[in-house]
């Protein structure tokens, strides 16, 4: 007679370390656990509470900040550490994110507001800044080809740039180790530097080329080796209004999008040097960013307190309206994963919007999103926010505000900073799955969605809800008491766009 002995692997019965828990064997038969769903719901409520208890989004500020309001911010496309910011007083500063310290301060880089900063697509650390005085300058984060860190304890050894004297005949490199490497100016602005102010700049994602938006109602394309534009888009759809924002598409190399003061959003094809399509919105758009993972989608921040995602193949209506702010949206920034974006507003708050469903399934252009922010960041001292952006690792958010500070936030407010053990990671994933599974139930939903906001924001939100209900009631009464067929309900997305121009 053969006897088969039961055998288990040693890994299923022994601990991995002396401090670990002993493995236990569970009976997975549902009949043995009649209260399993009730226990799981209790754990979901506890997990939602723990998520809010450990929520601490603010990491810290970049030590020193600026002297004046921070107007522009650029994060390197090829390196995690370098960050460059510009201020209203014309100062440009280089930062090391690893230590949150200033590497160099380029005082007097511009004589007026630094309206835009962008990194190149190479590994040489070159970046470009433009100002409202009508000048573009090329700089380098590495002084004389050497790598910069902020680990120097001696204050005297920190590399700092002296103020540039425009009347000096000496070479620019002798005055500052970071540049300027080159200076660009429009030919029509050489006699009057304030005639054609630059309001935005963006670099091509694969080629050595950058584009600018200026107050002469034109979009200019530049080659770093030439001092004048190689192409200019003038008389855009017959409009002479200022172009405020310009952005290259990350996938379509020859596609450019821009925002202008006439409330327009336009697309250009640089191959044929022609304008493709333009949509006119009800109010002016302050910012525009392309989705890095779905390049046919872009988001704009508008003066009507909302953010809109558009499909470039259909500009007649937005795909989703993202609400919540009570002030104009001044800046937007996509996550490198393309699943969410952050907005900075004039109401002194930062909001993070997800373009995916709560359960994690993809929804193209935000069709599965309800248009509300998943998180709101604010502090007592933070003022109006002019620039925001994600770091390349998707873990942190940077913001520059009117109070001269650059702040660093966690992208997930309750996420632990540092390495997670295997048990911590599995426990965290289990709690997140529980919250998502029971998010529709009242108790879990109330805890998971609860956010404390300033009193001013709360009052303005309540007032906006009253105004919205008033408009809806008026529209209902007009339709009810009018002749059948003369009036009908209009979709909110169709009200946003006034007209489209080809």
Q: Over the stretch 318-345, which tens digit does the pLDDT of each residue have?
A: 999 999 999 999 999 999 999 999 999 9
pLDDT of residue 175: 62
Residues 83, 175: Cα–Cα separation, whole Å: 22
Residue 132's SS3 state is coil
Phi, psi of 387 (to 5 degrees): -155, 140
- Judging by beta carbons within 10 Å of its beta carbon (0-12, 13-18, 19+), is residue 75 exposed, middle or buried? buried
Residue 331 pLDDT: 96
Supply the Cα-derived Rg of the chain in whole angstroms: 27
CA distances from 321 to 258, 307, 361, 461, 493 (A): 19, 6, 19, 16, 7
Q: Taking residues 366-388, what's their average pLDDT?
A: 85
Token couple for 434:
């529980």
Distance CA 117, CA 347 (A): 24
* pLDDT, position 163: 40
Residue 211 zone, left/alpha/beta (φ > 0; ψ -120 to 50; rest): beta
pLDDT of residue 170: 39
Asked whether 95 and 101 are in contact (CB, 8 A), the reply is yes
% of the chain at pLDDT higher than 70: 89
| pLDDT tens column, 88-99 | 999 999 999 999
Mean pLDDT of all residues in 378-403:
95
In angstroms, the CA 328 to CA 305 distance is 5
Judge whether residue 487 has pLDDT over 70.
yes
Quote the pLDDT of residue 3. Answer: 84
Per-residue model confidence (pLDDT) at position 145: 52
| Mean pLDDT, residues 2-16 | 79
Mean pLDDT for all residues in the chain: 86
Q: What average pLDDT does this structure show over 277-286?
A: 93
Separation CA 73–CA 118 (nearest Å)? 8
Task: Convert the pLDDT of each residue in 126-174 to its tens digit.
Answer: 999 999 999 999 999 988 655 444 444 444 444 443 343 434 333 443 4
Confidence band of 356 (pLDDT split at 50, 70, 90): confident
Region 387-401: mean pLDDT is 95
CB 250 within 8 A of CB 256: no
Nearest alpha-carbon partner for 19 in 430, 421, 427: 421
ω into 180 cis (within 30 of 0)? yes
Q: What is the pLDDT of residues 404-422, one digit of tens each?
A: 999 999 999 999 988 888 8
Question: What is the average per-residue pLDDT within 206-229?
Answer: 90
Cβ neighbors of 289 (< 8 A, separation 6 or more) are 247, 298, 299, 332, 333, 334, 341
Kindly report whether the global pTM for this prediction surpasses the value 0.75. Answer: yes
On the question of pLDDT at 365 being above 70, the answer is no
Contact 135, 184 (CB under 8 A): yes
The answer to whether 43 touches 35, Cβ cutoff 8 Å, is no
Q: Which residues of 428-464 are buried (b: 16+ CB within 10 A; e: fewer)?
A: beebeebbbebeeeeebeebbeeeeeeeebeebbeee
Cβ density class 129-144: b for 16+ within 10 Å, e for less: bbbbbbbbbbbbbbbe
Q: What value does the mean pLDDT take over residues 227-240?
A: 81
The yes-or-no verdict on residue 247 having pLDDT over 60 is yes
Q: How many CB atoms lie within 10 A of CB 498?
A: 12
Place of tokens 């289990």: 430
pLDDT above 90 as % of the chain: 63
How is residue 260 written in tokens?
């202008």
| SS3 (DSSP) at 443 | helix
Instruction: Say how many Å lie between the first and final Cα of the chain, rounded.
Output: 88
Inter-residue contact 132 to 112 (CB < 8 Å):
yes
The reported pLDDT for the residue numbered 361 is 40
Cα(164)–Cα(192) distance, integer angstroms = 20
Can you say whether the dihedral through the CA atoms of 332, 337, 339, 340 is positive or negative?
A: negative
Stronger pLDDT, 496 or 160, i.e. the higher one? 496
């Amino acid at each position: 007679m053969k006897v088969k002995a039961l055998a288990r692997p040693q890994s299923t019965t022994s601990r991995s370390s002396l401090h670990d828990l002993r493995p236990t064997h569970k009976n997975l038969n549902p009949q043995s656990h009649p209260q399993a769903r009730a226990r799981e719901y209790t754990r979901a409520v506890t997990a939602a509470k723990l998520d809010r208890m450990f929520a601490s989004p603010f990491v810290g500020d970049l030590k020193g900040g600026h002297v004046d309001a921070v107007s522009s911010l650029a994060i390197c496309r090829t390196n995690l550490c370098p960050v460059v910011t510009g201020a209203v007083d014309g100062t440009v500063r280089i930062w090391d994110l690893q230590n949150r310290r200033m590497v160099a301060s380029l005082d007097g880089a511009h004589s007026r507001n630094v309206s835009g900063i962008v990194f190149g697509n190479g590994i040489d650390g070159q970046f470009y800044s433009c100002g409202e005085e009508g000048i573009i300058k090329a700089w380098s984060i590495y002084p004389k080809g050497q790598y910069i860190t902020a680990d120097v304890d001696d204050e005297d050894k920190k590399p700092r740039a002296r103020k540039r004297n425009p009347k000096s005949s000496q070479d620019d490199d002798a005055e500052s180790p970071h540049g300027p490497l080159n200076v660009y100016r429009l030919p029509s602005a050489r006699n009057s530097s304030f005639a054609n102010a630059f309001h935005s700049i963006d670099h091509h994602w694969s080629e050595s080329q950058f584009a600018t938006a200026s107050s002469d109602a034109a979009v200019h394309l530049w080659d770093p080796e030439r001092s004048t534009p190689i192409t200019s888009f003038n008389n855009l759809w017959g409009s002479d209004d200022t172009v405020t924002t310009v952005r290259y598409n990350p996938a379509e190399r020859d596609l450019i999008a821009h925002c202008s003061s006439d409330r327009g959003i336009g697309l250009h094809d640089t191959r044929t040097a022609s304008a493709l399509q333009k949509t006119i919105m009800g109010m002016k758009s302050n910012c525009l960013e392309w989705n890095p993972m779905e390049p046919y989608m872009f988001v704009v921040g508008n003066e009507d307190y909302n953010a809109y995602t558009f499909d470039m193949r259909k500009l007649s209506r937005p795909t989703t309206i993202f609400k919540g702010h009570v002030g104009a949206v001044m800046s937007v920034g996509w996550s490198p994963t393309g699943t969410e974006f952050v907005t900075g507003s004039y109401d002194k708050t930062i909001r993070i919007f997800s373009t995916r469903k709560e359960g994690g399934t993809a929804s193209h252009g935000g069709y599965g999103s309800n248009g509300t922010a998943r998180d709101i960041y604010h502090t007592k001292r933070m003022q109006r926010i002019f620039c925001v952006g994600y770091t390349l690792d998707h873990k942190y958010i940077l913001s520059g505000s009117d109070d001269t500070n650059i702040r660093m936030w966690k992208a997930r407010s309750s996420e632990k900073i540092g390495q997670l053990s295997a048990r911590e990671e599995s426990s965290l994933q289990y709690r997140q799955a529980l919250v998502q599974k029971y998010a529709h139930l009242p108790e879990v939903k109330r805890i998971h969605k609860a956010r404390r906001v300033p009193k001013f924001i709360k009052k303005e939100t309540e007032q906006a809800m009253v105004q919205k209900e008033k408009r809806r009631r008026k529209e209902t009464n007009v339709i009810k008491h009018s002749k059948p067929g003369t009036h009908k309900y209009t979709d909110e997305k169709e009200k946003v766009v006034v007209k489209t121009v080809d």
